[in-house]
A and B are shown apart, each in its own frame.
Chain A
Amino acid sequence: MDQEKTFVLIASANSIFRNGILKILSKRNDFQNLFIEQASDIKEVLKKYSKNKPRVLIIDYDDKNIKKKLFMNSFFQDQHNAQLLLVSLEQSGNVVFYDRQVLSTDEAHLWLQIPWNENKSFLNSE
């Protein structure tokens, strides 16, 4: 069922890029568990983001149609576990990856006491 699937949103005005990412994802072993949507402008991005709360977002952030500031405002105001891959099609340098984990204040307190190099396993223990 869709509820059990991981929702992925690919946002770019560039059709070749969007479809290319889709093809790459289609080769994953867990492809059947992914629910992938595409968005080609900020209106579509915000609509699909707020409606579906994607677990994974792949954003072409230099794309003028995406309006990165508007998107980032919405992303930071929201609170759900999400992985964000910021890609620039105009620049072939590094991509930026954010893995947002939402914790209760109790969990945050615990997190502060655990050595930093062990935090990853703590965050993934959910």
Chain B
Amino acid sequence: MKNENSIRIFLIDNHALFRKGLKAILADYPNFDIIGDSSNYLQAESILQENPVDMILIDTDFYTIKNNEFSENFLNKNLTKKIVALTFAKSKLEFLNAIKSGIHGYILKDEEIEYLIVCIEKIHSGRFIVSESMVDKLVELLIQKSEFPINFLISDRELEVLNLIQNGYSNSQIGKHLFLSENTIKTHIKHIYKKMSVSNRREAIEKGILWGILK
């Protein structure tokens, strides 16, 4: 029997077997009221507009910024009070993107169900919970954020290039977009890497977000 204090939960995950299984597990807990589940944002949004919840458990590709905007949307439109990432993603960038989008917890799918249950209850009561194996990454990100970017004098053009990199453009696509040659783009990227002390696109995006120059 569900009571009026039950935590109202909605699941978003495009892996139907995992989602339906988790839904069946959580539904057995009297403290949880599983309002629904969906494989995608748009469907979830239309359901949640009719029936807002306390918490969304979401597995997403946090690598793409578009998904973060969806997460922010859910919160801004008061469709949920909390959003918790429940994911296999362990990279710093995905973790960072998820945190930036305003999530209230980052739980790995590898965890035991009992741990997940405890996390849901703690997050509902106002705590921010991160899976233990992600804590090191959180610390690394905090250290990186505190680095003062002495050589960081990035030009408007370089920022434009960095933005396009974040949106998944290749060098030739950036060139076409900005009406510049691919070689010029490569030179811009080289300068960006040097100024940001990074060695690849992923690191550049990470630092860009950390330093607040990328969304």
Contact = CB atoms under 8 A, between A and B. Distances in A.
B24 interface: yes
A21 interface: yes
B113 A15 contact: yes
B17 interface: yes
A20 B18 contact: yes
B106 to A, nearest CB: 15
- Residue with the greatest number of chain A CB neighbours at <10 A, chosen from B14, B18, B39, B110: B18
B109 interface: yes
Interface in A66-122: 87, 89-90, 92, 95
B28 to A, nearest CB: 7
Contacts of B39: 92
A92 B60 CA distance: 11
A24 B21 CA distance: 6
A16 B17 contact: no
Interface residues of A, number: 18
B66 interface: no
Contacts of B15: 89, 92
Contacts of A33: none
B25 A89 contact: no
A6 interface: no
A21 B112 contact: no
Nearest to B115: A15
B116 interface: yes
Contacts of B22: 16, 20
